[in-house]
Amino acid sequence: MDMLVLLGSFVVLMLIGFPVAYALGLAALVGAWWIELPLDAVMIQIANGVNKFSLLAIPCFVLAGAIMAEGGMARRLVAFASVLVGFVRGGLSLVNILASTFFGAISGSSVADTASIGSVLIPEMEKKGYPRAFATAVTCSGSVQAILIPPSHNAVIYSMAAGGSVSVAALFMAGVLPGLLLGLTLSAYCLYAARKNNFPKGRAIPLREALKICGEALWGLMTMVIILGGILSGVFTATESASIAVIWAFFVTMFVYRDYKWRDLPKLMHRTVKTVCIVMILIGFAASFGYIMTLMQIPLKITTAFTTLSDSPVVILLLINVLLLALGTLMDMAPLILILTPILLPVVKALGIDPVHFGMIMMVNLGIGLITPPVGAVLFVGSAVAGLKIETVVKAMVPFFVLLFTVLMLITYVPAISLWLPRAMGI
């Protein structure tokens, strides 16, 4: 009955139109009232939920990503990717994916990736003879890399939702190989599609021009080197790296590239603060919701239910994947990480599955949800940038969904893809 009251009130509030964050907070209050817990305890948990040093990484990474997305860095990364792979048949589709790899390793945001890379490459691909729907599908699918490749602020949220028991640095390193695997898989399909549909070849960029492009892009790529190099060398923590990323992004944008106007900075800061406020409210209310779930022993009951169904990790992981894929199409990524991690982590731990590995499984599942209707934020952004109906884009994305599901199965059932790098580095 406890579970029905808490989860039922949350679902009802969602159905009548409450935002996810407020639905979580109000459901927590209903749950506290049901079990006769003083409401002061809920308020304390909301405050404790956002009173964590590691959460400082989120506003900093969001700000750094916003500065890079609007400051000309995306355009230079696209040009750099063109130097590397733009000359082959179907090269612009490869440029799109590679640029998403680079930009994802800097911004950590799929939405920013799609908006920035898409605004540059979707019109360019169409001009060169690619179907606009195909160009949009490539852009949206490639942006899922940003969730996996460090620095991913969703990894920070997962670490916090896991009670701080999972290292952010380990999650960052665990996302490298899955992200590259996804990029290589999408690239292989794009090469196949280019041959099948006779997509055009790009031009080989002359050496002098290529050197100039590489020099300009190097400033942006250094962001990735500074963040990962600093973490791995122990110079600063994963949280501190976010602050360094902001400083570097600001320096490069305003003093090196100088494409961004100083008068536009207040508007950028306002958008960033607005986004961060929404995320922090969500985290605080999710903390109180998780606290009530723990008091009601809901995670323990769900763990028992799963292990009753089967004691095979293969079967349980398949069921969890189905659950995550279904929910990922209905809700945004951050709320699902905050809600589901305290519920599902005990289940996978009972089966001997590494929490870092499970974090990657969750990221890929929910990343697919970002490009799947009816509530796919990245899908909406890609469609808006391309000026296409969502149905048109979804139809073009069918083969990409197959590829993403294949990568998901590999990451789920081959733990070494996620765990080899962090273990090799002793994280």
Of 40, 56, 7, residue with least CA distance to 283: 56
pLDDT of residue 7: 81
Query: Distance (Å, rounded) from C-alpha 348 to C-alpha 314?
Result: 11
Number of domains observed in the structure of the chain = 1
What average pLDDT does this structure show over 253-281? 84
Give 150-197 as a DSSP string: SSPHHHHHHHHHTTT-S-HHHHHHHTHHHHHHHHHHHHHHHHHHHHHH
pLDDT digits (tens, 9 = 90+) for 34-51: 888 888 888 888 888 788
Q: Is the peptide bond before 374 cis (omega within 30 degrees of 0)?
A: yes
What would the two tokens of residue 47 be? 């405050």
Burial class for 53, CB neighbours closer than 10 Å (0-12, 13-18, 19+): exposed
- Could you tell me the CA-to-CA distances from 235 to 88, 170, 211, 251 in Å, in that order? 40, 16, 31, 20
pLDDT of residue 77: 80
CB 140 within 8 A of CB 378: yes
Query: Distance (Å, rounded) from C-alpha 219 to C-alpha 211?
Result: 13
- Residues spanned by the domain of 22: 2-424
106 pLDDT more than 80: no
416 pLDDT more than 90: yes
Of 242, 40, 258, residue with least CA distance to 151: 242
pLDDT of residue 265: 85
Of 113, 114, 139, residue with least CA distance to 126: 139
373 pLDDT more than 90: no
Q: Is the peptide bond before 19 cis (omega within 30 degrees of 0)?
A: no
409 pLDDT more than 90: yes
What would the two tokens of residue 406 be? 């294949």
pTM of the full structure: 0.83
* Residue 157 pLDDT grade (very low, low, confident, very high; cuts 50, 70, 90): confident
Query: Distance (Å, rounded) from C-alpha 265 to C-alpha 271?
Result: 10
CB 45 within 8 A of CB 287: yes
Query: Distance (Å, rounded) from C-alpha 362 to C-alpha 364?
Result: 6
pLDDT digits (tens, 9 = 90+) for 165-184: 888 888 989 999 999 999 99
pLDDT of residue 310: 78
